[in-house]
Amino acid sequence: MARPTEHEVLAAVLQIREGALQVLAWQRARPPDSGRWALPGGRLRDDEDVERSVLRQLAEKVDVREVTHIEQIAVFSDPDRVPGTRRVATAFLGLVPSDADPVVPADTTWHPLAALPPTAFDHAAIVDAAHERLRAKLSYTNLGFALAPREFTISALRELYAAALGHPVSATNLQRVLTRRRLLEPTGEVAPPGPAGGRPAALFRFTDHSLLVTDAFAVLRPPGEGSRVAVP
């Protein structure tokens, strides 16, 4: 007899927090995999498609107004990915800007990707897929708008890109690349001076907050890897 199949949606919600790329997860209280950390999501209802379902479930788990971008990344359908009833998962990437602080339940917290705790089922693989999608889209789209606050200095933007890409980034070269693509514009304002004083830094913003493909073949790589659009 064939096993019954259920369909669920899961979201790897990422944000730059305290200088590191982090993912939102909740701790399971019941078996299977009790005590492990799981991505927000749940079963797909009969009256909804996968995108409506993930938005509903994020609204139940986190302040969905703070999720500035969400997109489907993959379907995870290994017959043995969870015990018992077979469950097919449609996985999404969600992004939250660095200056947001969504309200989350007591069993839910942010975890740095570099120090991910034991995760439930195949959720670590979903996080990896979400990270790879983010890194790729930062290269050839304007997706940085979903990680950044509305206004920022170039130095602050460099730190966000470096945390998301996982390698050092030059503020000068990043500004050059994004300006050439017409993705940045100055606000005409400056940031408050820091503790060390010095010349106030100019504030910038993204010109568009909807996803745009700006250079389909670009790859933002660390120095020394031969990319024509490397950001060393």
Is 130's pLDDT higher than 50? yes
Residue 57's nearest CA partner among 19, 17, 15, 24 is: 24
Helices (H), ranges, the chain: 50-61, 123-140, 154-165, 171-180
Confidence of residue 149 (pLDDT cuts 50, 70, 90): very high
Contacts 24+ apart (CB under 8 A), 50-55: 50/7, 50/9, 50/90, 50/92, 51/92, 53/9, 54/9, 54/10, 54/11, 54/90, 54/92, 54/94
Segment 154-179, tens digit of pLDDT: 999 999 999 999 999 999 999 999 99
Domains of the chain: 5-123 (3.90.79.10), 141-232 (1.10.10.10)
Confidence of residue 221 (pLDDT cuts 50, 70, 90): confident
Q: Note the Cα 108 to chain centre separation in Å.
A: 17
Report the alpha-carbon distance of residue 51 to residue 71 in Å, rounded.
8
- pLDDT of res. 192: 84
Mean pLDDT, rounded, of the chain: 92
* Residue 114 near residue 20 (C-beta atoms within 8 A): yes
- pLDDT of res. 13: 97
